[in-house]
Structure 1
Amino acid sequence: MKKIKNEAELVKKAIVIGEKYAINRGYKGFSATNAAKDKIESLYRLLVNDKLIQPLPVVQENQVNMKHKLALWIAKQLPEGHALLK
């Protein structure tokens, strides 16, 4: 797995955008007390379910790999020249 530049910031952006996507899909949203790891796993599973990202093999399903997948997903959604892609 190749490290992405600005991966931590991309994951934060993916959580924000992913939560908006989840709400549009009918999910009630996350509460302020939900941990980031729970949000990451929920968004990862939603995006896999909607076939927007490829699922990880079961043995590789962990927080680090899920974060990486979310960072890749949001990097493809951002417009060319976005500050996080530089």
Structure 2
Amino acid sequence: MKKLDNEKELVRKALTIGTAYAEKRGAAKFEEGDSANERLEFIYRLLVRDKLIQPMPELQVSQQSIRHRLALWAASLDKKK
């Protein structure tokens, strides 16, 4: 897995967009006490369920791989604009 140049920035963007998507869809109501890792995992699983991103094999799912996959998703959103 090749790290992206601006992966941290893309993960923050994915967290922002994913949180708004989940709340608008009515799937979640995030609170301030929720950790970023919990939010990222929820967003990843929601996007997989809605077939917006490809799922990873369950043995490969980790915080690092989730962050990378969501960074790629956020980068693809920039390309669509």
Give the structure-2-normalised TM-score.
0.92
2:29 alignment partner in structure 1:
29
Point out 4+ residue stretches in structure 1 off by more than 3 angstroms.
none
Q: For structure 1, list consecutive stretches of 5 or more residues without a partner in the other structure.
A: 81-86
1:44 alignment partner in structure 2:
44
Q: For structure 2, list consecutive stretches of 5 or more residues without a partner in the other structure.
A: none
The question of 1:8 aligning with 2:8 is answered yes
Give the structure-1-normalised TM-score.
0.87
1:83 alignment partner in structure 2:
none
Aligned length, in residue pairs = 80
1:73 alignment partner in structure 2:
73
Structure with the larger helix share: 2
Corresponding residue SS for 1:73: helix
Which amino acid in structure 2 is aligned with residue 43 of structure 1? I
Q: What RMSD over aligned residues (CA atoms) do the two structures have, in Å?
A: 1.2
Which amino acid in structure 2 is aligned with residue 63 of structure 1? Q
